[in-house]
Amino acid sequence: MILILTNKKYIFSFLSIVISISLFSQELIENELTTNAMLVNSWKQLKMHQDTRTSSLYDTINLDTIRGILDDFSYDRVYPDTSIWLDNQVYINRSYPKAPVTIGVATFDGLNANGYPYNFFASSTSSSSADSLTSKPINLFDYINDGNTVNYQISDSLYFSFYYQPEGRGNYPETNDSLVLEFTAPGLSSWQPIWATSGTNLADEDSSWKLVMIPIKNVQYLKKGFQFRFRNYATVSGNLDHWHIDYVYLNKYRTNADTIFEDVAFVYNTPSLLNTYSVMPWKHYDASFMKTDYSTTIRNNFNIQKYASFVYNIYDAIGTQVHNYNGGSGNIFPFISNGYCNDPAFILPPTTPYSIPTLTDTTNYTTECIIYTSPDKQRQNDTVRHKQEFLNYYSYDDGTAETAFGLSTLNAQIAEKYTSAIGDTLRCIDIYFNPVMTDASLYAFSLNVWNDAGGIPGTAIYTSDTVLIPMYAQTGYDHFTHYYLDPPLYVPAGSFYVGFTQKTNQFLNVGVDRNINTQDKIFYNVSGPWNSSPFPGSLMIHPVFGIADYYAGIDNRPVIAKRANTITVYPNPASDKLYINSTAVNIAEKVTYSIIDIYGRMILENKINMPEYIDISSLSEGVYFIRIVDGHQVSTIKFIKVD
């Protein structure tokens, strides 16, 4: 028997708008992501330290005497725990789920372990096998009881359970997509289907999770080497068709009524210490930016109240504790009847909040929140931390994108509003571009800064004198790109807007953080008047002040050639012939090139051997960009065509 429980009290108020993704060229469109930049970056580290992610297939694990096997994915890293799982394909995160049972989930999508699509060319309506989450072999043959070895029996009442949620804050799986569970054990020739569900979407304010209870009553599984595996079927050409699972639990002496867990847990990350921003320039900080209260989200998953105490600490950049609130205590009532904890003893710091002193350089502070209660099934979800950074840029978002916004109109504009505390020099603008369907690095835009005109962008006070090209995290770069202002712009204290004017009718998709909603700061313009964003989220565009080198990203200067292999073109200006020179490519090796005009239109595309030249005699006079693909290196270089 499989028991599925749904509790409509899991409804969570999350501001969103039902939209039809019809591609109206005159509107701001929400587009799904193609890649996952967090996994792209983490994959590099994983490959450098592969030993930390290697699980032995022969390392059979036993059920813990009390805990059994339990994973609620509350650890703050992107790959599954190797003490339980064999593979790396799912994404462990805190940003995609709505109102999880405890903080952190495992997310299934159409991306592989390194954050890229399994198949870039798969149809958007197709559904194929995508992620797997496979347990290590488990001993369901025998266990120790009072010092004696005892064989597992059906009467031991083994149950396997988990929670799942489709979509969350991501992309909903269609009806031809699915999430499946399979079992296997020694002696079986293949994985056995146990449970499956087809895709669906959540209503706007629905954050419900379903609990699945599965008894293990077949003796063919009571062996050393039993395994379980989750798999999803999805469109494998992008970051699509999301399923989230939480609180995977296998143990003996359970029944189908064992659906309540004695576990008090955090649900979300702790927020920024700042009123408005997630990050701000250290030179701009003063105490007025600090929150006057600091809330966390706590959930009691048990069916009776739990007595608990709450500790709130702040540490400086070298780990010295600079603030402590210890003593908040009381009863946390069950979520199933009372919802989240709302007792001020657990969600607020002291009456006088801590104020960070005057800053003299870039720095960071770490907040730490801890719940103490006993007994508690999973201690790991009782502590959350947040690193508050003071660098050289403003940011609303948390650094992770769940979706993207884009426009498909020539000369359309998109802008994000910021308010500077002091006058300072704006050095560059960081933008997180994400490709969808087409590689928009073939297209172009101009960088803009606007002054404030009564709450909307006013006059452009800066426009780049050359068009720029979107850059993407296609070979493991950081996902923000530096676009330097030339010359730098002094911005007085007050509100201003940063963004761009696109020189193409293709989508230039900018990443959006769905967990922090600052849609009132996002504006777009396709035909004259500025409009507010109809979608919740924070646009990932950051104004960078002072010395931009504090913040790592891609330096998108007019010539991009940052690695050991330097690529140049000559002569420049050129009239009829253009040559490519590389310091690392064999002269017999072919390279791919594309020539794009300042409006983002592709003019030429071909492959040549290095000694050959490109015939540009047919081009009109003007400025062009040549995009050169040499293995994993992509270089975009501006050149001038003259007669």
Annotate 329-355 with DSSP letters as a single string.
EEEEPPHHHH-S---HHHH---SS---
* Order of strands across the sheet that contains 424-431: 541-545, 424-431, 481-491, 554-555
Distance, in Å, from the CA atom of 235 to the CA atom of 30, rounded to the nearest integer, reads: 18
Q: Which of 467, 434, 424 shows the shortest CA–CA distance to 558? A: 467
Instruction: Report the pLDDT averaged over residues 273-285.
Output: 95
Radius of gyration of the chain from Cα atoms? 27
Is pLDDT of 336 > 70? Answer: yes
Average pLDDT rounded to a whole number, residues 393-418: 94
**Which of the residue ranges 107-111, 425-429, 458-462, 544-548 would you say has the lowest mean pLDDT?**
544-548
263's CB contacts (< 8 A; 6+ apart) are: 102, 301, 302, 376, 377, 378, 381
Q: Token pair of 546, please?
A: 């002072």
Q: Please compute the mean of the pLDDT values over residues 19-45 and round it to a whole number.
A: 66
Phi (first) and psi of residue 46, to 5 degrees: -60, -45
| Alpha-carbon span 368 to 449, nearest angstrom | 37
Question: Between 276 and 643, where is the model more confident?
Answer: 276
Q: Does residue 633 carry a pLDDT above 70?
A: no
pLDDT at residue 588 in the model: 55
* Euclidean distance between CA atoms 176 and 15, whole angstroms: 28
* Rounded-to-10 torsion of CA 336, 340, 341, 343: -120
- Burial class from Cβ neighbours inside 10 Å (0-12, 13-18, 19+) for residue 48 reads exposed
Q: What pLDDT does residue 254 have?
A: 95
**Range in 59-73, 269-283, 431-445, 468-482 with the lowest mean pLDDT:** 468-482
pLDDT of residue 147: 83
Report d(CA 347, CA 333) in Å as an integer.
Answer: 14
pLDDT in tens, 566-621: 678 889 889 999 988 876 555 556 788 888 776 666 788 888 887 788 999 988 88
Per DSSP, helices labelled H in 388-465 are none
Would the pLDDT of 478 be above 70? no
Give the least confident one: 21-30, 151-160, 242-251, 540-549: 21-30
Interatomic CA distance for residues 273 and 270, integer angstroms: 9
pLDDT digits (tens, 9 = 90+) for 210-230: 999 999 999 999 999 999 999
Q: What is the pTM of this model?
A: 0.80
**pLDDT score at 329:** 86
Please name the residue that has the structure tokens 């997310």.
Answer: 107
Is residue 289 classed as helix, strand or coil in its secondary structure? helix
Question: What's the chain's average pLDDT?
Answer: 85
* 393-405: average pLDDT: 93
* Domains delineated in the chain: 60-261 (2.60.120.260), 266-391 (2.60.40), 403-555 (2.60.120), 567-641 (2.60.40.3080)
From residue 105, give the alpha-carbon distance in Å to each of 156, 163, 245, 283, 514. 29, 10, 6, 37, 16
Q: In terms of pLDDT, which residue wins out, 442 or 273?
A: 273
The span from the CA of 182 to the CA of 371, in Å, is 36
Nearest to 448 by CA among 426, 419, 432: 426
pLDDT at residue number 15: 27
pLDDT at position 277 over 90? yes
Q: Three-state SS for 483?
A: strand
Whole-number pLDDT of residue 475: 37
Q: Is the pLDDT of residue 5 over 60?
A: no
Q: Tell me the mean pLDDT in the region 303-324.
A: 93
Band the pLDDT of 115: cuts 50, 70, 90.
confident
